[in-house]
Amino acid sequence: MNPVLSLRGVSRRFGTVQALLGVDLDFGSGVHAVLGENGAGKSTAIKILAGLDQPDTGTVELDGNPVRLRTRDSAIEQGIGLIPQNGSLVGELTLLENLALTQPRQLIRRRHVREVLDAAAISAALPIDMTTPVKRLGRAQQQLGELALAVAQGARILLLDEPTSVLDADEIHGLHVKLREFAHDGITVVLITHHLHEVRAVADAATVLSHGTVSWSGQVADVDDLSLARAMVGELPSSTPPPRPPIGDDAEPALVLDGVWAATDDLAPVRDINLSVRPREIVAVTGTAGSGQRALAEAAAAVVQPERGTRRVTGAVAYIPERRADALLPSLPLKWSAVLPRLRDRRFTRFGMVRQNAVDEFARDLLARFDVRPPDPDLSADALSGGNAQKLVMGRELDVAPAVAVVHAPTQGLDLRAAQQSRELILATAAAGAAVLLLSADHEEARTLADRVLVLRDGRIVGEHTAVEYDDAVHRLVDVRPNEDGTA
């Protein structure tokens, strides 16, 4: 079968970084997964296909014919819809108003736009809320809204950049079902993901990128998970968790939240939160997106003050936020983000002046130790991929031996190797004596790392389990590959 969308011999370089090198990619009917570790070139390829970036060499082909996608609008005109990882909707506007913004007419007919969006939602069976501002919708509703807008704009190809990174298991399953339905209706779906179980659950074909080149491509049914993992990252090093001394029932908590009510810009505040974390203990908080995780994390890390209740900590607190950009200085060289918590240390300042050589040396060492790519202290922080930004933030925060570590979504968007490294770092931090509060939508991650697991729903803790008791069977993804009749 002829490909619908292709890259032919595409190369793209950013400064000293070769993001893509002579890449050939073919996407036909069905769902095609694109895998690779952070910095492998996945997002660059998607941006070129979506008209957001231009190749240095090579071409984009549509139905076998070369096309020039100079802008995002030109890609939309060719039927290429994009659902970016961080969303593209204006939060203060409704879905209807967001679609109106994309219309070329100077005089926008609201009734016509409503009819177009209604028709798209009905044809794609997308249950969406058109009249509520996007920022008040849950993450899953926002993604369904992005899909509806793409269909309303005439998309016959959907590019999804890590769409499940902020969804819980039930929402992921719902999205997978919807993607299979799109594929059955003749839409080509390109799905960027780090998760092998997603490939098994929803994809017909897969391509693995490694260091800007294609390391494997073929039908999912013809490859095992180990081969895919090796194509992504080579041989994963064996992982032996560091031994953790027993916590002890009489150990005094290093972090206590007592009757805390707090609010932030999350979808939900937290109410009447009672929890404690002892030194060397990892307490995980899991729950659906929008149940108050960010408010809880920011209250525990003292980013926001409780409206009611009290927070008590013993010692220094490290904080890894869900939104990596909140912890970086995006327009400045990496070295300033790397040294940020330590900038007042004597080794970095003398007589009120910053010692540039000391900053450069420290940043270079930190980037190397935590495998931040590229390890260039002078590179702008906003040039890092999401996974490398996360490695920088985690390394910087946990390198100072904190007494308390508040860690929110530590492996969200990370590849296999980086996720393993991050989990090992969390375990080592706890083994060194820190009290770790882990907020994660990854139920398997919570179960394997934590001593205790708390369940958060609608801003309240509704359950508490030991790691042994915690049963994540109900959260496992269901295989939604098509039946013989094409249905999911």
Q: What is the mean pLDDT of the chain?
A: 86
- pLDDT of residue 124 exceeding 90, the answer is no
Name which residue leads in pLDDT, 42 or 171.
Answer: 42
Query: Residue 236: its pLDDT value, please?
Result: 64
* Average of per-residue pLDDT across 250-262: 94
Name which residue leads in pLDDT, 211 or 104.
Answer: 211
Q: Which of 201, 161, 157, 153 is closest to 42 using CA atoms?
A: 161
363 Cβ contact list (under 8 Å, min separation 6): 334, 335, 338, 339, 377
Q: Which of 51, 133, 57 is closest to 91 using CA atoms?
A: 133
124 Cβ contact list (under 8 Å, min separation 6): 147, 148, 151, 178, 181, 182, 185
Give the strands of the sheet with 80-83, arranged side by side: 80-83, 157-161, 188-192, 31-35, 205-210, 213-219
Q: Which of 147, 217, 201 is closest to 3 using CA atoms?
A: 217
Q: Residue 320: which pLDDT band, with cuts at 50, 70 and 90?
A: very high
* Average of per-residue pLDDT across 164-181: 81
- pLDDT of residue 136 exceeding 50, the answer is yes
Backbone angles phi, psi at 13, to 5 degrees: -120, 140
Please write the tens of the pLDDT for every residue from 393-403: 999 999 989 99
Q: Residue 106: which pLDDT band, with cuts at 50, 70 and 90?
A: very low
User: In this structure, what DSSP letter does residue 103 have?
Assistant: -
The token duo for 449 is: 């790392």
List C-alpha distances in Å: 359 to 284, 356, 362, 399: 34, 5, 5, 15
Poorest-pLDDT segment among 193-202, 265-274, 334-343: 265-274
Strands 404-408, 317-320: parallel, antiparallel or unpaired by DSSP? parallel
End-to-end Cα, the chain, rounded Å: 22
Distance CA 345, CA 366 (A): 16
Enter the pTM of the model: 0.69
Query: Residue 251: its pLDDT value, please?
Result: 84
Query: Residue 268: its pLDDT value, please?
Result: 78
Q: Residue 105: which pLDDT band, with cuts at 50, 70 and 90?
A: low
Please write the tens of the pLDDT for every residue from 421-476: 899 999 999 999 999 999 988 777 888 899 999 989 889 999 898 877 775 433 44
- Around 239, how many Cα atoms within 13 Å sit in the side-chain half-sphere? 15
Residue 357: count other Cβ atoms within 10 Å of its Cβ.
9
Quick one: 437 exposed, middle or buried, by C-beta within 10 A (0-12, 13-18, 19+)?
buried
The token duo for 207 is: 């391509």
Distance CA 180, CA 56 (A): 34
Query: Residue 242: its pLDDT value, please?
Result: 64
Question: Highest-confidence range of 149-158, 171-180, 301-310, 344-353, by mean pLDDT?
Answer: 301-310
- pLDDT of residue 417 exceeding 70, the answer is yes
Domains in the chain, start-ordered, CATH in brackets? 5-233 (3.40.50.300), 255-328+384-475 (3.40.50.300)
- Around 267, how many Cα atoms within 13 Å sit in the side-chain half-sphere? 19
Quick one: 1 exposed, middle or buried, by C-beta within 10 A (0-12, 13-18, 19+)?
exposed
Q: Any idea of the CA torsion for 350, 353, 355, 359, to the nearest 10 degrees?
A: 110
Q: Residue 156: which pLDDT band, with cuts at 50, 70 and 90?
A: very high
The gap from C-alpha 46 to its chain's centroid, in whole angstroms, comes to: 16
Q: Residue 237: which pLDDT band, with cuts at 50, 70 and 90?
A: low
